[in-house]
Amino acid sequence: MKALKSLLVLLLTASLVSCLGGSFSSNEVADGVPPAIIPLPNQVEWGDKMYKVPAQNKICVGDINLDAGQWLSELLKASGQEVEVVEGNACGNWNLTLDPSLKTNLGEEGYSLDISEEGVTLKSASQAGLFYGIQTLRQMFPAQVEKQAAGEKPVYLRFVSIEDEPHFEWRGTMVDVARSFFGLEYLKKHVDRMAFYKMNRLHLHLSDDQGWRIEIKSKPKLTEIGSKGSTIGGNSGYLTQKEYLELQEYAAARNIIVIPEIDMPGHVYAALAAYPELSCDGYSNLTPARATPPELYSGYEVGWSKFCLEKPEIYDFVNEVIGEIAGITKGPWIHIGGDEIEDPRYEEFIVKADSIVRKYGKTAIGWEEATKAEVDESFISQEWHGEVESVVDVKVIESICSNFYLDHANVPGQENTLNWCKEDGVSLENVYAFRSDKPNAIGVEAPVWTDPVLNEQMLDDRLWPRTVAVAEVGWTTPEKLEYQDFLNRLQEQAPRIRLMGINHHPTPEIKWDETEVSANASSVFSGFKP
Ligand code: TNX
């Protein structure tokens, strides 16, 4: 009965929306459901009228928010309007204000957005906040704007007053490019999609037993040899330093910081295949020796490889690799892994690796096992099961596997998925149900381990739409999170997700339309640089 009722509500909502979409009324009075915004803004008051975007638009910006003016102008052009960006205050029908003093009210990344008969006013203390306000506006435009094909009808924007800021400062995804490689073009698309949902951290798992994925100039064999493998059926390859820099620039323009992970002292077989001298004599550090150099490893087992921790030379290697990575990383963090390995010298290694990262001016992150060691107080722990007895009191990123491991099945029994953390998979609802009870949590991050994720279509399927739920859990105040309301909004966005060319999972809670997913995986801001 309850299911029937919610189906009815859904159908009603859907038909209302399609009526509205078809006949934005000429009297400009708004009725029906308000636009579906994800993540849900923290304070929003919808008005009962609509602002008709005129054919000619003027965006007024102060000289320091030109970038935001460019993004907005791109959006307006894609919807078929003419637009000029001019420097000045409150002189147009679109007015952008960047004012650091707004930080007191709106926080670092917050924004306020007002739409009334005079037009649109967007304010923030930061470029990031203006960018997020523009994503909110973008979600109010017809979905076809993603394909730059919304020029036919005038665009109407519902009057609104929004004050919005994120609950968590860390709203991330992790892509394991080590088990199966995903290159620059895919990662840029991924960044575009994250940005649409106001996410801001992209963690790349760059090394593991099966592959090494980042060029290190002082250690050329890491890629000459170590990048050649993958898990069975996956892709090999690596990012050149040039590509890595390009990705970071692309992401930074979208307020996303890239975090590189070099997993150590375990999960290192690809590096050992390239530099056998990092192993102990007789490979006693490989237990069991599932492969030995020069063989590559393409299986799924974990926990069998590690550096030879009694050899001092391994620290020269760590020092050179971390030094080079620090030099090409724009963000403040380097992830040192630290998961799934036993060794009497484990803690010693972690403490040293942490101090090497700090020596190069960066802050270290590690999987929660690393907090068994006396790491610096600046260290950040990424919790994946929450069971490690930490000896330090450090900040935490929440990646609890039963809520956030998107390599797990979308629905029970899905092929090519993992199930060791949760037998019946991690459903959309499981993701949405996450609530942190840790005062030291700085945010959430959803990983996709790609052991059995072999191509882009599969990766899209694992990430979407569950990442949309991650984004909302990361942004919206916990008291406002309501699953059915989220589903209603996601339902409204479903056609847009397909238009954007995302090969999402056909999650059963959502009614996906029958049209083909757009063959061209791009959206309104793809490739754009202010
Ligand atoms: C555990 S969870 C891992 C990964 C694997 C994953 C799937 C964690 C920190 N590490 O190395 O890919 O299981 O088997």
- Given a cut of 50, whether residue 528 has pLDDT beyond it is yes
- Coil, strand or helix: which one is 171? strand
Please tell me the distance from the alpha carbon of residue 11 to that of residue 328, in angstroms, as a whole number. Answer: 51
Atom of ligand 1 nearest to the CA of 421: 13
The phi, psi pair for 50, rounded to 5°, reads -125, 145
Position 151 scores a pLDDT of 60
Residue nearest to atom 4 of ligand 1 (CA): 449
Query: Terminus-to-terminus CA distance in the chain, angstroms?
Result: 51
Position 515 scores a pLDDT of 84
- Give alpha helix (H) positions in 360-465: 401-404, 428-432, 456-463
Position 1 scores a pLDDT of 38
Mean pLDDT, residues 472-489: 98
Percent of the chain with pLDDT over 70: 94
- Given a cut of 90, whether residue 452 has pLDDT beyond it is yes
Q: Which residues line ligand 1 (CB under 6 A)?
A: 302, 339-340, 367, 384, 418, 449, 451
Position 514 scores a pLDDT of 86
pLDDT digits (tens, 9 = 90+) for 259-314: 999 999 999 999 999 999 999 999 999 999 999 999 999 999 999 999 999 999 99
- Given a cut of 50, whether residue 381 has pLDDT beyond it is yes
Residue nearest to atom 11 of ligand 1 (CA): 302
CA–centroid distance, 65 to ligand 1, in Å, is 42
pLDDT band at 8 (very low <50, low <70, confident <90, very high): very low
Residue nearest to atom 7 of ligand 1 (CA): 449
- Where exactly does CATH 3.20.20.80 map onto the chain? 170-485
CA–centroid distance, 263 to ligand 1, in Å, is 11
CATH, domain range 21-164: 3.30.379.10
pLDDT band at 150 (very low <50, low <70, confident <90, very high): low
Percent of the chain with pLDDT over 90: 90
Atom of ligand 1 nearest to the CA of 176: 12
Mean pLDDT, residues 5-23: 38
Position 142 scores a pLDDT of 93
**Tell me, which fold does domain 170-485 have in CATH?**
TIM Barrel (3.20.20)
Position 58 scores a pLDDT of 98
Atom of ligand 1 nearest to the CA of 384: 2
CA–centroid distance, 401 to ligand 1, in Å, is 10
Atom of ligand 1 nearest to the CA of 405: 2
Phi-psi region of 80 (alpha: psi -120 to 50; beta: other; left: phi over 0): left
Q: DSSP assignment of 292-341, as one string?
A: -TT----S---S--B--TT-THHHHHHHHHHHHHHHH--SSEEEEE--S-
- Where exactly does CATH 3.30.379.10 map onto the chain? 21-164
Query: Which of 449, 450, 453, 459 has the most ligand 1 atoms within 8 A of CB, as the residue to mutate?
Result: 449
- Given a cut of 50, whether residue 26 has pLDDT beyond it is no
Question: Residues 110, 120: contact at Cβ < 8 Å?
Answer: no
pLDDT band at 18 (very low <50, low <70, confident <90, very high): very low
Question: Residues 263, 337: contact at Cβ < 8 Å?
Answer: yes
Mean pLDDT, residues 21-38: 66
pLDDT band at 152 (very low <50, low <70, confident <90, very high): low
Mean pLDDT, residues 226-253: 98
